[in-house]
Structure 1
Amino acid sequence: MALMIYSLYGFAIFFFVFWCAMWLLHLIAIFYGKYRLHKKVEDKPSDEAYPGVSILKPLMGTDPHLISNLETFFTMRYRAYELLFCIEDEKDPSIDVIYNLIKKYPKVATKVFIGGSSVGVNPKINNMHNAYQESVYDFILISDSGIRMKEDTLQDMVNHMSERTGIVHQMPFTCDRNGFAATYEKIYFGTAQSRMYLVADSLRVNCHTGMSTLMRKCVLEELGGIQTFGCYLAEDFFIAKTFIQKGWRTAISSQPAMQNSGICDVRSFQARLTRWAKLRVTMVPQVILLEPLSECMVIGACAAWAASLLFKWEPLVFYLIHILVWFMCDWILLSIVQNGSLPFNKFDFIVGWLFRECSGPYLFILAIFDNSIKWRNRSFRLAWGGRAQEIKPRIKC
């Protein structure tokens, strides 16, 4: 009986300490986000040499925003860069979009690579491999098809590439779009994702996502090129992990990555979140315990029980105050990341925030009990350590 009581108190202390730590993370994210994000971009003097950047753009299919997204890469205010478009299928409709933009902007150095290589299980690495082999500049920028760039975004990323920095990446965020799904996406990326991303960057912990990443090509070459990471689906995580092991730093730029995919619905976004959760579980198994506890509703319930046991506080009142303050912190953080007025009102935020917070633990449970991943028209099975195997390899006609 005494052992059971000690165990209960032990769990209560753990939950309450973890709850306090989560509030510390909130404060770090808010203050670090205010300090780090949306800084004025300093242009280099006209007589100073610009480091060249080879931009790899893997594409598959089209969507209503593809043309406008890609066009932002042709209009960047940066002197030395090349665009390397990578398309696996010669019948892909994105090819026509690319050639039309090349005709419109003939002065931008551009190459199109059709047909990928087979250097691993990762379709993105296979698609980019030929373009990577032909890249001419010292820096490689891997940028997903749904990313939009401002005129000074590439300059901002290059400015953060210090002498000991090997990777500069953009924190994921979204463009302003209409509809509940767009609100849901913006709330997720501007609160839960941004909180962990900003805290990890401030503590120099690997938080790298590969949707918009600037890397030193010389380091990649020392590691064997991007094909070295073709055995992983989460190649971005392992690239950053290897860079860090080699003594290089990673850093986020001041401008977030503005995702602007033309496909925006709740089901596909939740499938995306579940896929990411599966990858995290196999790469960093300790998230099985820690990630659910980082969710507002879960840690709030655990801390309310702990406070009632340790301090005799009213658990329901504690829980409601916890949710209210968490909600306010997320509103502040989202406003900092947005750097302007939000494209929805407070009621829409309340509904979207509650939906995100309540569905998060459910999606994580789904991820734990299924180690298979569907990525576009392919299926993979994950193994511990992050390696993947294609279940039904694609057959080319």
Structure 2
Amino acid sequence: MSEPLSGNIATYSSNDVQFALPKLVLSSGCLLWYTFIWSLSVLGCRAARKRYRLQPRSPLASASRTSAPGVSILRPLKGLDTNLYENLESTFTQEYSNFEIFLCVADEHDQALGVVRDLISKYPNVDAHVIIGMSISWLESGSDTVGVNPKVNNLMCAYKQAKHDILWVLDSNVMVVPGTLARSVDALIGPPNSKPSSRRIGLVHHVPFAWATEYALGSRLEEAFLNTNHAKMYLAINAVAIDSCVVGKSNLYRRSDLERVDGSLKPSSSRPSQEGLPGERGLAAFGRFLAEDNMIAGALWHELGLRHDLSCDVARNAVGSMTLSAYVWRRVRWVRVRKRMVFAATMVEPLTESILLGGLTSLALHHLAGVPHWLFLSIHFTLWLIVDLDVFASLAGYSVPAGSRLSFISAWSMRELLALPIWLLAILGNEVEWRGRRYEVLRNGEVRRVGNSNFTLWEWLTGRTKPQSDYYEPLDIAQD
């Protein structure tokens, strides 16, 4: 009996020695990665505190019309978005003396036109224009368009007619405070005593801040995601500023800069001159992308060597009654787009989320130091939540109200649990649904329209197509 026992002990000891080094390396690597992610989290939290807890009034807010740089505000519209009247009115009431507004719809029967006309009547002294650029028949036939992106097509007429070089493009679901434009122009033009050697700011953007007008489950999840983890990492990446990272809810840039880029992301000095070639530079060049905002920012960064900046304002996103499935498919869509644009970053994304990161680090600490899993995970999730709540307070200007704190934390917990399943679902396909149309995401984030012949996982599971509304631009979807 003693001989087999001795043999088993010897075998076990040999295997233990064989795997000891790989386990040590993996555990140490996990701890280093955990430290790196926490460094980014703390950086994002500090950036939120520093940038958003104080909003000074810009001198441009009281500057005369002749001394304030002119700005053309472009707002693409489609249907009666949640809070549409207040969203659009926030541009009419900017504390700035030299701006014009273009309110753009593709169809003369669009429901948003009633709201637009009411605001123009209410503010007759504001230089506002209604642009009815395209009809649905034009979009379907492909004529008079610059690509498959309906937002870019919708903006082209206003882009050509704008009389100012500085453009401010805001989505229809965005509301901003009156001082946003002045502070954003301050950030774009920079201080008068800036060093000549410093790189010029080519784009000013604003971190999105979701607020739900109707508290459906998806709406709560969207708030918990955008106002905590997303904002935290967004601010951290922009603080490090090693590459472009922009969400296009509210972007300010110069048309003269945009006319010099083509979306190739190759430095302009390394490309042959393409002057005079129609449709290959400027806004029209980005009609082939679904995430045109991100690509414009990337082009300004990589092709012209310009940099980005954030003002101390947020882009307040009004979220309507978003269902759970709408939230899931919205997240799936943008993971699939990012997968084609920044593949490596998208692949490691699950390792930045609290549950998978915490679980792996717990295993590593237990192996290296015998730390109980329950102890580490309790501390890990508590600190993660505290940091996220602090980011929320910085962006909102107030802490989560006591009356809704439990529901917010519940939504936050559910968002964390859903992060990995949503990512896995997104990785399995390349087709997305946006504004009632289906697209296949191609290399570098370009897209092409596809028909409805291929079933998605949603259709296979439910026997019907998934909801087509975006919940940021939910109504008046074009009929094929």
| CA 64–293 in structure 1, closer or farther in 2 if over 3 Å, else same | closer
Q: CA deviation at 1:181?
A: 4.0
| CA 395–181 in structure 1, closer or farther in 2 if over 3 Å, else same | closer
Matches within 5 A, 1:104-123: 104-116=122-134, 117-123=144-150
- Aligned partner (choices 327, 348, 360) of residue 407 of structure 2: 348
The 2-side partners of 1:395 and 1:67 are apart by 21
3-state DSSP of counterpart to 1:157:
helix
- Aligned partner (choices 114, 119, 138) of residue 165 of structure 2: 138
Q: Give aligned-pair identity as a percent.
A: 29
Aligned to 1:380: 439
Matches within 5 A, 1:165-180: 165-175=201-211, 177-179=213-215, 180=217
Check if 1:12 corresponds to 2:70. Answer: no
Aligned to 1:21: 36
Normalising by structure 1, we get a TM-score of 0.94
Check if 1:248 corresponds to 2:306. Answer: yes
Q: Which amino acid letter does the alignment assign opposite residue 216 of structure 1? A: R
Residue pair 1:66, 1:262 contacting (<8 A) in 2 also: no
1:333-384 superposed Cα distances (whole Å, 9 cap, x missing partner): 2111211142453212221111111111111111111210100111100123
Aligned to 1:90: 108
Check if 1:277 corresponds to 2:335. Answer: yes
The 1-side partners of 2:18 and 2:127 are apart by 71
Aligned to 1:190: 227
Q: CA deviation at 1:176?
A: 5.7
Q: CA deviation at 1:59?
A: 0.8
Aligned to 1:358: 417
Residue pair 1:66, 1:261 contacting (<8 A) in 2 also: no
- Aligned partner (choices 354, 364, 371) of residue 430 of structure 2: 371
Q: Which amino acid letter does the alignment assign opposite residue 381 of structure 1? A: E
- Aligned partner (choices 156, 167, 192) of residue 129 of structure 1: 156
| CA 81–130 in structure 1, closer or farther in 2 if over 3 Å, else same | same
Aligned to 1:59: 77
Aligned to 1:334: 392
Aligned to 2:284: 227
Aligned to 2:474: none
The 1-side partners of 2:287 and 2:250 are apart by 18
3-state DSSP of counterpart to 2:202:
strand
Deviates more, 1:171-180 or 1:212-221: 171-180
Q: CA deviation at 1:50?
A: 0.7
Between the two proteins, the alignment pairs up a number of residues equal to 397
Matches within 5 A, 1:43-54: 43-44=59-60, 46-47=63-64, 49-54=67-72
3-state DSSP of counterpart to 2:75:
strand
Q: CA deviation at 1:296?
A: 0.3
Q: Which amino acid letter does the alignment assign opposite residue 170 of structure 2? A: S
The 2-side partners of 1:383 and 1:176 are apart by 33
The 2-side partners of 1:10 and 1:42 are apart by 52
- Aligned partner (choices 66, 71, 88) of residue 89 of structure 2: 71
Matches within 5 A, 1:247-326: 247-326=305-384
1:59-87 superposed Cα distances (whole Å, 9 cap, x missing partner): 11113411121122112221111111111
The 1-side partners of 2:110 and 2:235 are apart by 37
Q: Which amino acid letter does the alignment assign opposite residue 95 of structure 2? A: R
- Aligned partner (choices 39, 58, 62) of residue 55 of structure 2: 39
Aligned to 1:209: 247
Q: CA deviation at 1:43?
A: 2.6
3-state DSSP of counterpart to 2:348:
helix
Q: Which amino acid letter does the alignment assign opposite residue 434 of structure 2? A: W
Aligned to 2:265: none
| CA 288–69 in structure 1, closer or farther in 2 if over 3 Å, else same | closer
Q: CA deviation at 1:228?
A: 1.0
Deviates more, 1:335-344 or 1:279-288: 335-344
3-state DSSP of counterpart to 1:76:
coil
The 2-side partners of 1:64 and 1:190 are apart by 18
The 2-side partners of 1:12 and 1:152 are apart by 49
Structure 1 runs (4+) greater than 6 angstroms displaced: 393-397
Q: Which amino acid letter does the alignment assign opposite residue 43 of structure 2? A: I
3-state DSSP of counterpart to 1:218:
helix
| CA 67–78 in structure 1, closer or farther in 2 if over 3 Å, else same | same
Q: Which amino acid letter does the alignment assign opposite residue 241 of structure 1? A: G
| CA 261–52 in structure 1, closer or farther in 2 if over 3 Å, else same | farther
Aligned to 2:179: 152
3-state DSSP of counterpart to 1:175:
strand
The 2-side partners of 1:389 and 1:81 are apart by 35
Q: CA deviation at 1:53?
A: 0.9
3-state DSSP of counterpart to 1:260:
strand
Larger radius of gyration: 2
1:118-150 superposed Cα distances (whole Å, 9 cap, x missing partner): 101211111111110111101111100011121
The 1-side partners of 2:423 and 2:58 are apart by 41
1:136-172 superposed Cα distances (whole Å, 9 cap, x missing partner): 1011111000111211111121111134111000001
The 2-side partners of 1:309 and 1:62 are apart by 56
Deviates more, 1:308-317 or 1:143-152: 308-317
| CA 203–7 in structure 1, closer or farther in 2 if over 3 Å, else same | same
Q: Which amino acid letter does the alignment assign opposite residue 376 of structure 1? A: R
1:255-276 superposed Cα distances (whole Å, 9 cap, x missing partner): 1110114443333233222211
| CA 184–52 in structure 1, closer or farther in 2 if over 3 Å, else same | same
